[in-house]
Structure 1
Amino acid sequence: MKLNIFQFKNISLLDVAFCIFFAVATNADLMVNPILWWGSIALIIVTQFILNRGKLKFNSSKFKVWIFMFLITCTLSIVYSINRAISIDQLKTLIILALVMIYVESELNNLNSIEKMIMLYVIGVGMTLIYVLLTQDLNQFQLAIHGEASTGRWNGNEIGMNAAMALILILYLFPKAKNPLLKIYYIIVVTASLYLIYWMGSRKTIVFFILGVCGVILLRRPKKIIRNLLLVCCTITVSWNLLMEIPSLYQNVGWRLEALTYSITGKGKADSSTLLREKYIKVGIESFKESPLIGYGVGTFSEINKAKTNHNTYSHNNFIEIAVGMGLIGFIFYYWIYIYLIMKYLKLFIYKRTSFLVSVLFIVFVLYLVTQVGLVTYESLIQCLLILFLYKAIEFSQSSYIKGR
């Protein structure tokens, strides 16, 4: 009898361990607690060790090659880093992420196992979103946009992106859910996510969410081109009008999108946040030109930025962050996997060998790549999971295509 992975009875102890890790790793309050942080990682390792009798599947893959190449580059950058303490801290984070990804990859054996892991991620991040609603003063995030308040450990962009990611993935997961309790949980997460996106006021999050929905519409039934394009146009038009015409939406998000369009088109005045980030990009480009090959050490942009602008902060741009930290060599070692995955997906799409799961993963992967213009993501759990999920989904799709020939 075929088991349905979306029913709770098929969830193993290792699945629970992964879910707990996702909940802790996306929660800014919990992850700083060493007992919870290291405990959640240890739980995965110990549970996997017990269930698999001490064996860890460690097959070679391009995903592992990518991880190790980038880690080696980061490690070597410590030798010439302008701040070795910062670079070592960044390397520790990347090593932990790499370790977790190796354990996650060992559990991905087919497309169904990817769906299950996505479900576990959504459940885990959903716990974090609900936690934020119950414990945080959301007004502070709006004030923080204007520099009038501090949100402590929490970052509005990260909360917003977690919420937007959960929403898009639930669009895929919800129709497949058989357990009514799981469906109710998804509805709660959707409600919490929409509310948090509203309060975070992150334009990247709004754009990511709207374009993500449009992507799902386009690729769910790709043959219905005219219908899909009409739905996408309606979605974008309605969304823009709502954000610009409803006072509360405009006050929280709309005006920031308006400022973003001014920045892109050159018509009108960009907001202070956009102007500041443009300054950081300029600092990054100038610094890159001074050390184009090897950079200044992983994670050291903040040091350069402090010296040149008196702002001790990262670049808010993943391309700049990596180029400055590890130069052209590190940039190539990091981004080659993106080109590889895009080319592989397009080949599958042209030959009509993609599934809806692969297409949804590709949508969020590309959108998250675009948001790197305004986010630093190379040490992000979401980014690593997206790359891994898409890589494995394409690999399984290719394998089934070859066997079917």
Structure 2
Amino acid sequence: MTLTLPPAPHGETRAGRHLVDATRWPEVARLPRASALRTHVARRIVERAFHRLPLRVRIAGVGTKVPPQPKGSAGCPPTLTLREPDSFYRRIGADGLIGFGESYMAGEWDSDDLVGVLTVLACHVDDLVPQALRGVRGVWVRSRPASDLNTVEGARRNIQRHYDLSNELFATFLDPTLTYSSAVFTSLPAGIADLPAAQHRKIDRLLDLAGTGSGSSLLEIGTGWGELAIRAAARGARVRTVTLSREQRELALKRIADAGVADRVTVELCDYRRAEGRYDAVVSVEMIEAVGAAYWPAYFGALRSLLAPGGRAVLQAITMPHERMLNTARTHTWISKYVFPGGLIPSREAIAKQSAAAGLSIVHDTGYGDHYAETLRLWRERFLHQSAEVTALGFDDAFRRMWELYLAYSEAGFRSRYLDVRQLVLTDGTAAHESTNGPLS
């Protein structure tokens, strides 16, 4: 049957590739070069996956493929709509998953449930490519560019490319605490009104794990917009917090002053490798993902050298399975190209190995990936609701689709349990031992 495609969600008019700004998005505005053979192979692989996965696939002017459903299954599978199938397959043939993301940015495919589609793909990621073709995986992936390496100068560029986009942009989807990391809720699902308290709950857990109190000294690696520093200072701690983002530092200083704790908090533009001093605790929230594997020894070495005897390093870290981390480390992905250049999510095994090499022991480790999925859902829904404000800030349709895909892609990673988020305590062996590998209580 032939279907008439519905209007775009959220009342927007979807810009086709021909309307994408070629100056801002050159590789989205034009189709890549791809041989007929590569495009044909990509089409066959993807169509095979579509046939096997619990997805409805709708093709403009053709119809809908409804997969067979297991007995007892409830509800309809999510729908992926191919608006420009030839362009979609050509991009995948040229650039694999980078092409998949760029095709979404160009409006060549869509979904009535973007997170649902991406969750299905994440759950079956190991089955998407036939076994016989996995040996030629390198044909569809690129190596990470040397320019993305997190040297001292490279790290500054990479951080600024993400965090210096606009403080106002982040305010459109974050809650008033401006906390850009997973919250901890009392129950799931949650509402947007629950998010500020859930973020404070997360921060307070980290500060408790760090033993932060009156008179203690705390170094924070990765300032964000200052909420953790504010709450630590409110406990009577002396806080030094370092960031590479000028935009974040400027707003963090204002928020710290408004909170009345500027006398107890110092905010510096400083790379963690150049931080000095010894502290009772070092806290780093979802910062390790931006370090890059080549610099993990330097990162954990810095944690060790910055701790006073008996001190604690407290991390909140996104993690992925070790084998997938090894594959990702060698690959230039859509996320590394457009969202987090130079970044790599570590595995728990990598964290354990690198911390041990630096002379640190993991004495506490809890995970709560479901809470991150919920945090991301709330951010994504708020971002979509604020689309007019995002446009008014100067961000175009291709950017909005990129950011929507990034938030949905991340949420799907946690919903499929491809990703997790952990709170860890590392010591030099002189601090009291705590439980490890425990669930979130």
- Give the TM-score taking structure 1 as reference length: 0.31
| Structure of higher CA gyration radius | 2
- Higher strand fraction (1 or 2): 2
Structure-2-length-normalised TM-score: 0.30
Q: Which protein, 1 or 2, shows the higher relative CO under an 8 Å CA cutoff with sep ≥ 6?
A: 1
